[in-house]
Structure formats: structure tokens, C-alpha cells
Amino acid sequence: MMDKQAFHSGFVAIIGRPNVGKSTLLNRIVGQKVAIMSDKAQTTRNRIQGIYTTDESQMVFIDTPGIHKPHSRLGDFMVKSALSTLGEVDAIIFMINADERRGAGDNFIIDRLKDVKKPIYLVINKIDQIHPDHLLEIMDQYQDALKWEDIYPISALEGNNVPELLATLQSKLPVGPQYYPSDQVTDHPERFIISELIREKVLELTRQEVPHSTAVVIDSIKRQDEEKVHIQATIIIERSSQKGIIIGKGGSMLKKIGSLARRDIETLLGDKVYLELWVKVQENWKDRENLLASYGYRQDDY
């Protein structure tokens, strides 16, 4: 009688420069939005774990903040958070953009990967945005940079080659236990994901007018009855001039932010949601450790 096929499990870090599509890939893998997506750099601030489970394996993906030269305590937190994952995982995905040449930021990450004794996969994202002939040129730029376990050109947005990447990761992960229930897609509490969904809409709708000086604090989540959840949240900004932008004329922008965020939150919770938003100015919060901690960016997280 043959033994049952061994179950494989492990942790995979997704690392790369800001805005290469790490969160898009994570959301593609787990099948729903667990990581904030924006075309602005440095969107992800905490290590977000997405969980992908099949009958044969379970992969826990850690989406790291994009590595960049920090200009504040918050920036320093983000870079340390990203680099700290490298010694904790079973495999690493180093993601780059197909439509950008290799640069100083990529070299910075490659130098730090040279001492890592874990399988490293080079994943070239956004192949849907380039001519196929250009792909070989990109691969040549990185071919000898590290000893890659494998190289995968993908489109995280369209899904091209993502199943093949997952199949390879699954086959090479160690035999191990199932860490999370089969239907669980993230280990982050609902409060965190809800705050990120609101912050995503702020970034999406205010564009260049409000930079990455925005945090969202969930003040309360109360189930009013069996069919509706009442959520109160505060959008934190650094300058008084940004308050008018977020509120908008007659409250129009804040209403739009709330409406779009509410849809995503209802999908997440599977319930009707009443979302109440407030805006608060907290000057220089990104450089104040006590405020960073209260908004969820804790030094002991890395």
C-alpha cells in the first residue's frame, strides 16, 4: 500500500523595490484583496501574510514594504521590516519590473541577498506591458547577479505564469504541517485590513495631492444587528492643508472615499457595513515613535 503524498508547507517572502507589484501578486495568489494596492510607491507598511492552501501544500506569503532609502522613522521601520523577513522564510521571491532597467535600488537588494542561504526566485513582473523581445534584455541584466533557483516572467495583474510559479514553489517547499485552516487567507486581524482598505481609497482618490502621510485608525467596530456592522474610523494626516482635500467640497471627497471603501469592506466581512469617517491632523506623526506605535507600526514587529 502506497503512503499518502507528503504535505509541503513553508513561508515565502516577496521582496523588491517599491511599486513592482508585490501586493498585486499576493492578492492574485490568495484570490482576494488582503494587501493594499496603489500605483504610488511605498504603499505597504507592514508585513502582510497571505495564505495559499491546496490539498498538497500550504504557502504563507509575506509581502514586504518596498525597500527604499528611508527619510523618516516610518521609512526606517518599513525597510527594517522588509529586510528582517529574509532569515525567517523557506524561499524568497525577488520581484522586478519588466518595463524598468536594473537600477541602484535593485542592486541594494541584491547585495543583501548575497548572504542569504535560501532559494531565491527572480520574478519579472508586468510582462503584459512590454514587447516579448524586450524580455531577454531584462533577463540578461540579472542572469549573473545571483544564483537564482529559477526565473519566472509573470503578469501579476493578468495572472500569466503565476500558476507555474506556485507549482514550482510547492514542489520545493519542505515537508511540513498545515499552519492555518484551509479557508483562511491572511493572519492579519480584520481591523488592520479594514484600515488598509480605507487608506487605499485615500491614496487612490487624492492622487498627488495627499502624499504618503496618511494613516487610518479604526476607532470601533460594532455589530448593530444581524445584518449590519457599524465601523468608525479616523484618517490621520500631517498638515491642515490636507484636511480640506480629503473632506472635499461639502464633504464630497470623504463621502466618495467612504463609499468605495465600504464596498471592499462588505466583501471582506460578508455583511452590510455602515462606515463613519473622521479626519484628524497630527503633525509629523511619521517621526514620532509614540504615534507610530499607536497607529500600528511597532518596532518589535521586525
Say which range, 27-36, 96-105, 135-144, has the weakest mean pLDDT.
27-36
In a shared domain, residues 49 and 167? yes
* Beta-ladder partners of 124: 96, 153
Same domain for 197 and 168, yes or no, is no
The amino acid at residue 163 is P
Amino acid 85: pLDDT: 66
Q: Would you give the end-to-end CA distance of the chain in angstroms?
A: 47
Q: Are residues 12 and 161 both part of a single domain?
A: yes
Q: How far is Cα 231 from Cα 266, in angstroms, rounded to an integer?
A: 11
User: How many CA atoms lie less than 13 Å away from 136 in the CB half-sphere?
Assistant: 2
Cell of 1: 500500500
Do 104 and 134 share a structural domain? yes
For 236, the domain range is 190-301
| 54 located within any domain | yes
* Statement: residue 61 has pLDDT above 60: yes
| 105 against 9, higher pLDDT | 9
Burial class (CB in 10 A: 0-12, 13-18, 19+), 219: exposed
pLDDT for residue 4: 54
Total domains in the chain come to: 2
Residue 83 — very low, low, confident or very high, per pLDDT cuts 50/70/90?
low
Residues 142 and 114: beta-carbon distance below 8 Å: no
Neighbours of 135 (CB within 10 A): 14
Residues in the chain: 302
- The answer to whether residues 136 and 233 belong to one domain is no
Neighbours of 51 (CB within 10 A): 21
Identify the pLDDT of residue 69. 54
Residues 44 and 98 grouped into a single domain: yes
C-alpha cell at 158: 493578468
Model confidence pLDDT, tens digit, residues 115-158: 888 899 999 999 999 988 889 999 999 999 999 999 999 999 89
Per-residue pLDDT tens digits for 255-288: 999 999 998 888 777 778 889 998 888 776 554 4
Q: Output the average pLDDT for the chain.
A: 78
Q: What is the CATH number of the domain that holds 196?
A: 3.30.300.20
Answer with the residue of higher pLDDT: 48 or 150: 150
